[in-house]
Structure 1
Amino acid sequence: MHLEEISSASTPLLPAKSRSLIDEVQKQLYLAGPLVLVSLLQYSLQVISLMFAGHLGELSLSGASVATSFANVTGFSVLLGMGTALDTFCGQAYGARQYRLLGIYLQRAVFVLLLTSIPLAIIWAFTGQILLHLGQNPEISAEAGIYARWLIPSLFAYGPLQCHVRFLQSQNIVLPMVLCSGITVLLHVPLCWFLVAKTEYGNRGAALATAVSYWVNAVMLGLYVKFSRACRMTRAKLSNEVLTDLVAFVRLAIPSAFMICLEYWAFEMVVLLAGFLPDPKLETSVLSITLNTMWMVYMIPTGLSSAISIRVSNELGSGNPQGAQLSVFAAFIICLTEGIIVAIITILVRDIWGFLYSNETQVVKYASAMMPVLAASDFMDGIQCTLSGVARGCGWQNICSIINLGAYYLVGIPSAVIFAFFLHFGGQVGN
């Protein structure tokens, strides 16, 4: 029997397209699984810090919640968004086998993000005053201002951390990121406990622990890139070449940042709006719990989004648009399945989830009432996140930033204001 006949006889009786689709789903799951875990582990640093701060009391939880929201709006989301430009640059360069360019892109991105962190740090230094001028509760504003100042060192670690994550994931190097992120979280829990419960820092200790942990994670990934054999073809020595084409990077990084920020800002603005509701401490605390839960769950479609971005950019970089189309179809199958499962779990845990953040019965009951709304939001976010990953892989950030502007600010925020303040639905409209 010829080799072709043996191969044909051993092949499952599936159409070629079906086999290709199954193979693509398997590739994305193999890539997305570790990326989901990395996203969850990295985001859990903020969540764990918030949990420890929350058990110090309602004011402490409110202050830390508003500070975290403000930090996400004015800092973390900006750096994350700018870093996603590497999804396009590194992904397509890797697909085109221009390996040395990946190292140049990494250094260029780190340089730009570190420069960007300086004005962001100045904004964080005046968080309390800014919130007070925005009409927030004076007590919460003061507490949030203290928390945000202690978060400032995390800015200068977060940018390089995101750049290294994008650099590695574009090459399908994911397991080292899982290991580094896992070690960081394991160190973060006892560090949080010590600084919050065993020192006089209080909730400032939670912010400091977040900053230290981001630095630990960034340094570990940087050392891996520097010394690993897996990166020997893609790392580059420092040279003036990093500065030669900054404009091209910034030209894509700015719409990339807007694409991410417009979405993040809309949700975090809801927490700030909660400060104007009749019971601001309760509304802010509960809305922060639900939104932090939403962002934590959002890390799952974020990992899936990164996987589809890598697959699309790699296929386009290698000149295979049909492969990119197949990747998009497979991604939608995965994201719809994930969305249904997450929505069901969210509803099932609604009555106990609030205890992770607070011992206050009123807070826990209110959080339980918010969870079904959150489940619906999580399902839709999965679809939106997948589409964003496709756009990044194609380099369509400009178009998507305009779409996000219309969806969140011409429809979303005005609707939240109407439902919360005129129809008196309270914080439940935030999701």
Structure 2
Amino acid sequence: MEHSDGTTQPHATDESHQIHSQRGTAAVFTAGTADIDPITSPGDFYREFVAESKKLWYLAGPAIFSFVSKYSLGAFTQIFGGHIGTIALTAVSVENSLIAGFSYGIMLGMGSALETLCGQAVGAGKLNMLGVYMQRSWVLLFCTACVLCFLYIFAGSFLILIGQNPEISQAAGKFAKWMIPQLFAYAMNFPVAKFLQTQSKVIVIAAISGVAMAVHPLLSWLLIMKAEWGLAGAAVALNGSWWFIVVAQLGYVLSGRCGAAWKGFSWEAFGNLWGFFRLSLASAVMLCLETWYFNALLLFAGYLKNAKIYLGAFSICMNILGWTIMVSFGLNSATSVRISNELGAHHPRTALFALVVAVITSILIGLFLAFVLMITRNEYPSLFSNDTEVQNLVKELTPLLSFCIVINNVQPVLSGVAVGAGWQTLVAYVNIGCYYLFGIPLGLLLGYKFDRGIKGIWQGMISGTVLQTIVILVMIYRTNWNIALGELVS
């Protein structure tokens, strides 16, 4: 729905009615509309809440589905790896969690810079810059992938160096070398996905990811079980599924369906790389500091007495938390697009209200998921383990897991605000202070010094997340949204 700019000017009241009609019915961002009026009554709040929820869920629904679909590719590969043998299962798990997980965090973080730049460009009506930004991101991510190749090549030696089992390390190292094509798929995928997402072309991303998720188990079965290719088959299937996503998304872009946003390849992609790199690096650091934070819990749990029981129970908790984080990642992406669109269009009131709607929505989702876990805490642990000690520990940890889910549903949404507003560098410093200078030391103190075990470690680290959430809320509260309109990198 386009804003009317015909030669005959409508009366002011008609124009106002038209704008409110657009904002109330459009499910996507519409350039040229006015900022929302100040909210002065419950009726105003309800009307704008419904309108904003449509925009949020139009973006968040497909984004959540896409994140879950891509997350499931590695999960399916691990399931089939378990049918090869224990060493193969462990090798796939270690490569997915440590090697590919490390690279995924860096690539996703660097690609998230496009949410700031492309989102604000859409809001400002500068669609011609989107293709340039995407190509500039490709250049940087490909260079980053070349550097990360060394991690894949020497993965076996690295895993042995940090104390992993030599047999598992060798198998994981071999599998990591075979997974190098996936690394370069990351470099292509994240820029083009953010390019499409900031234009609200989210259905196509979800559809492509859904097809990949549906075909991947069949491809894995054919290559691993039927052809008996073992780990090599697992690598071919996983690489093939990721490159299918990349090629399909590129095909959509090159088909000409993105209009003014894609004008072909340009030498402008090599301009101002340093400024672009700084924002991309800040995005990567901000996201990676959050992603790696709870992964450190597995490392610390391994040094406790009865480490096998602790690691087993905590792995179950992290598995559940991982699925719920995919939901919050989708909300994160949707929120950053909404904020950057409205800031780019100079709509401070709408940007702030978009944040309010996103936070309320994420809290409600978190509370629902926590409620489901609490009422099923005596049943769900048996789905993951037959060990009664592990099951009992998971039951004990469920209240902490439930609280963690609520906090981790809100925190990524606030991070989405940071990405949309271009605050990545500042939030990276906040993460270092709250997570690594406060949360981890407190967790280690409670876990080891006060003998609270895994509960103490987790309680300390959750305290770091709560502190980080409070700090970002204070930053948002103290922000003058009339001037926080973001700066585009030229």
Distance between the aligned counterparts of 2:455 and 2:225, measured in 1? 31
Give the equivalent residue in structure 2 for 1:115: 143
Give the equivalent residue in structure 1 for 2:7: none
1:378 to 383, 399, 405: 405
1:206 to 209, 214, 234: 234
CA contact (8 A) 1:274 1:427 kept: no
CA contact (8 A) 2:256 2:262 kept: no
Confirm whether residue 28 of structure 1 aligns to residue 50 of structure 2.
no
1:170 to 198, 202, 205: 198
Give the equivalent residue in structure 2 for 1:399: 426
1:316 to 343, 353, 362: 343
2:293 to 266, 285, 289: 266
**Given residue 256 of structure 1, which amino acid in structure 2 is its aligned partner?**
S
Give the equivalent residue in structure 1 for 2:111: 83
The 3-state SS of whatever aligns with 1:122 is helix
Structural mapping, 1:345-356, within 5 Å? 345-348=372-375, 350=377
The structural deviation recorded for 1:235 is 0.8
In structure 1, list runs of 5 or more residues that go unmatched. none
The structural deviation recorded for 1:346 is 3.2
Distance between the aligned counterparts of 1:59 and 1:276, measured in 2? 22
C-alpha change, 1:186 and 1:293, in structure 2 (3 Å) is same
In structure 2, list runs of 5 or more residues that go unmatched. 1-12, 25-40, 463-490
**Given residue 176 of structure 1, which amino acid in structure 2 is its aligned partner?**
V
**Given residue 194 of structure 2, which amino acid in structure 1 is its aligned partner?**
R
Give the equivalent residue in structure 1 for 2:174: 146
Give the equivalent residue in structure 1 for 2:211: 183
TM-score when normalising by structure 1? 0.88
Give the equivalent residue in structure 2 for 1:337: 364
The 3-state SS of whatever aligns with 1:292 is helix
Distance between the aligned counterparts of 1:149 and 1:365, measured in 2? 39
C-alpha change, 1:389 and 1:190, in structure 2 (3 Å) is same
CA contact (8 A) 1:86 1:163 kept: yes
CA contact (8 A) 2:99 2:176 kept: yes
| Identity among equivalent pairs (%) | 36
The structural deviation recorded for 1:421 is 4.8
The 3-state SS of whatever aligns with 2:260 is coil
C-alpha change, 1:323 and 1:406, in structure 2 (3 Å) is same
CA contact (8 A) 1:287 1:427 kept: no
Give the equivalent residue in structure 2 for 1:196: 224
**Given residue 333 of structure 1, which amino acid in structure 2 is its aligned partner?**
I
Confirm whether residue 325 of structure 1 aligns to residue 367 of structure 2.
no
Distance between the aligned counterparts of 1:32 and 1:77, measured in 2? 20
CA contact (8 A) 1:192 1:206 kept: yes
The structural deviation recorded for 1:95 is 0.6
Between 93-102 and 240-249, report the one with greater CA deviation: 240-249
Choose between structure 1 and 2: higher helix proportion: 1
The 3-state SS of whatever aligns with 2:143 is helix
Give the equivalent residue in structure 1 for 2:263: 236
**Given residue 309 of structure 1, which amino acid in structure 2 is its aligned partner?**
S
C-alpha change, 1:164 and 1:282, in structure 2 (3 Å) is farther
2:73 to 6, 20, 45: 45
TM-score when normalising by structure 2? 0.78
**Given residue 366 of structure 2, which amino acid in structure 1 is its aligned partner?**
G
**Given residue 106 of structure 2, which amino acid in structure 1 is its aligned partner?**
V
C-alpha change, 1:408 and 1:202, in structure 2 (3 Å) is farther
Between 178-187 and 152-161, report the one with greater CA deviation: 152-161
The structural deviation recorded for 1:22 is 2.4
CA contact (8 A) 2:289 2:432 kept: yes
The structural deviation recorded for 1:392 is 0.5
C-alpha change, 1:407 and 1:203, in structure 2 (3 Å) is farther
Distance between the aligned counterparts of 2:389 and 2:171, measured in 1? 22
Instruction: String of CA shifts for 1:403-424, please: whole Å, max 9, x gaps.
Output: 1112221233334444555526
Greater C-alpha Rg: 2
For the aligned residues, what is the CA RMSD? 3.0
Distance between the aligned counterparts of 2:231 and 2:47, measured in 1? 53
Give the equivalent residue in structure 2 for 1:411: 438
Between 321-330 and 59-68, report the one with greater CA deviation: 59-68
Between 254-263 and 25-34, report the one with greater CA deviation: 25-34
